[in-house]
């Protein structure tokens, strides 16, 4: 858990700085008509944070194994209208959501990390797996945004 928390905290510091080096045009430009802009990718990460935050909380009190409630990421990005929102709004939303996730993780008892989630009929994963996957997913998209890896 501590490794995931450390990674998350580093990104919460670095992301605002890295975006500071990009112009509004670079942030808003879509590489292709049906591809997300950097702004929309960060919005998608807000949606991921919203959906995963409730999973991190529910895992600690609901009957095990939990069921993962899925969401349509394209619909969320479209309906949240990230492309038209001011970028600072999206960035502060992302930082705030991740601060709350970090606060939840910091208070999650070690014995809760083995609580299970049904990922599919064939696969059950632990809360720790979901935490690690959340950071991996976030890093994947941040690397897309900033052109690393």
Q: Is residue 124 left, alpha or beta, with left meaning phi > 0 and alpha meaning psi from -120 to 50?
A: beta
Q: 113 near 127, Cβ under 8 Å? A: yes
> For 133-145, what is each residue's pLDDT tens digit?
999 999 999 999 9
The fraction of the chain above a pLDDT of 70, given in percent, is: 99
* Residue 101 and residue 51 in contact, taking contact as beta carbons nearer than 8 Å: no
123 lies in a domain?
Answer: yes
Q: Report yes or no on 32 lying in a domain.
A: no
Does the residue 23 lie in any domain? no
Number of domains in the chain: 1
Categorize the per-residue pLDDT at 65 as very low, low, confident or very high, splitting at 50, 70 and 90: confident
Q: What tens digit of pLDDT does each residue of 6-37 get?
A: 999 999 999 999 999 999 999 999 999 999 99
Average pLDDT over residues 58-65: 91
Q: Assess if residue 27 is contained within a domain.
A: no
pLDDT value of residue 69: 86
Q: What contacts 114, CB < 8 A, 6 or more positions away?
A: 126, 127, 128
Full domain range(s) for residue 110: 2-15+38-146
Q: Tell whether the model's pLDDT for residue 148 goes beyond 70.
A: no
What is the pLDDT at residue 64? 87
CA-based nearest residue to 141, from 1, 47, 9, 57: 47
Q: What is the CATH number of the domain that holds 64?
A: 1.20.120.450
pTM of the predicted model as reported, rounded to 2 decimal places: 0.95
pLDDT over threshold 90, residue 147: no
Q: Is residue 60 one of the residues assigned to a domain?
A: yes
The whole-number pLDDT of residue 124 equals: 92
């Amino acid at each position: 858990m501590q490794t995931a928390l450390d990674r998350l905290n580093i990104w919460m510091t670095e992301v605002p700085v890295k975006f500071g080096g990009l112009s509004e045009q670079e942030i808003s430009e879509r590489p292709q008509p049906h591809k997300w802009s950097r702004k929309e990718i960060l919005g998608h990460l807000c949606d991921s944070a919203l959906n995963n935050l409730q999973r991190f909380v529910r895992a600690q009190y609901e009957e095990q194994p939990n069921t993962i409630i899925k969401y349509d990421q394209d619909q969320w990005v479209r309906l949240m209208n990230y492309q038209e929102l001011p970028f600072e709004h999206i960035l502060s939303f992302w930082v705030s959501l991740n601060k709350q996730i970090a606060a939840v993780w910091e208070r999650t008892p070690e014995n809760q990390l083995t609580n299970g989630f049904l990922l599919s009929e064939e696969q059950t994963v632990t809360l720790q797996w979901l935490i690690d996957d959340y950071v991996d997913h976030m890093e994947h998209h941040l690397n897309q945004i900033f052109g690393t890896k």
